[in-house]
Amino acid sequence: METLVQLSDVTKRYGSGSGEPALNRVSLQVPTGRVTAIMGPSGSGKSTLLNLIGGLDRPTSGVVTMEDVELSRLGEGALARHRRRKIGLIFQFFNLLNNLTALDNVLIPAELAGVPRRKALERGHELLDQLGIRQQAHKYPAQLSGGERQRVAVARAIVNRPVLLLADEPTGALDTHSGEQVMDLLADLNRAGQTILLVTHDPRIAQQYATGVIRLIDGQVADDSAGARRVAVQ
């Protein structure tokens, strides 16, 4: 099994650093081509973990490696480029820009990456088609259902063909049916080769869609069935 992301002894403290760290000496591996679920109680460090892997934030200590690149060695500019080219992000509350149409929301990361407008448009339309929301291309987020909004967010996340798709509670704000539609979509993407790291509170979603589960408690790995972690025998 190939490893896409590796964390070695990663600690994250916020603010002044007093008190318990949000992540406490976490080591784990995210396997290539799988759906890996992160579970754990509120405050256990799941979003913090995603932010470090996505290069949105940096660890206090320890090393995050993706595709053999140590993220801590990248300066701000290189880290931003890494993020734009390699990472797709999906959030619980969609985080769409309300004053842009569905299509224009999808095109944002392509524009940031400097993709020519015509090529970006082609890709945007192709994705809206693929995700079953072609009819919604020129609607604004307020005119879309929750499930449609999240599908727009999925299209936006994958418009630049990221190596890694990070999803933080992508079904958390959706009813069961819309949640299943979004998860089926993510499963389709995974079948086409997309590596996905998925935070979920829902054990049924983890069981149905994930190959492995990493459980965090109080900022530490309590359980890891993602299958790629090699525990050193002391």
Ligand X SMILES: Nc1ncnc2c1ncn2[C@@H]1O[C@H](COP(=O)(O)OP(=O)(O)OP(=O)(O)O)[C@@H](O)[C@H]1O
Interface with Mg ion (CB under 5 A)? 46-47
Is 86 within 8 Å of 25 (Cβ atoms)?
Answer: no
For ligand X, the closer of residues 14 and 129 by Cβ is 14
Name the binder of 45 from ligand X, Mg ion, none, CB < 5-8 A by kind: ligand X
Helices then strands, each counted (H, E), the chain: 7, 10
Of 114, 164, 119, 171, which is closest to residue 147 (Cα–Cα)?
A: 171
Question: Among residue numbers 23 through 42, which ones bind ligand X (CB under 6 A)?
Answer: 40, 42
For ligand X, the closer of residues 18 and 42 by Cβ is 42
Cα angle 161-171-184, degrees, rounded to a multiple of 5: 60
Name the binder of 43 from ligand X, Mg ion, none, CB < 5-8 A by kind: ligand X
| 47 contributes a contact to ligand X by CB under 6 A | yes
Task: Output b/e per residue, 9-39; b: 16+ Cβ within 10 A.
Answer: ebbbbeeeeeeebbbbebbbbbbbebbbbbb
For ligand X, the closer of residues 9 and 126 by Cβ is 9
Give the phi and the psi of residue 157 in degrees, each rounded to 5: -65, -30
- Minimal distance in Å, beta carbon 14 to ligand X? 3
Options 6, 44, 150, 190; binder of ligand X; rule CB under 6 A: 44
Is 168 within 8 Å of 50 (Cβ atoms)?
Answer: yes
Options 1, 2, 9, 43; binder of ligand X; rule CB under 6 A: 43
Task: List residues binding ligand X (CB under 6 A).
Answer: 14-15, 22, 40, 42-48
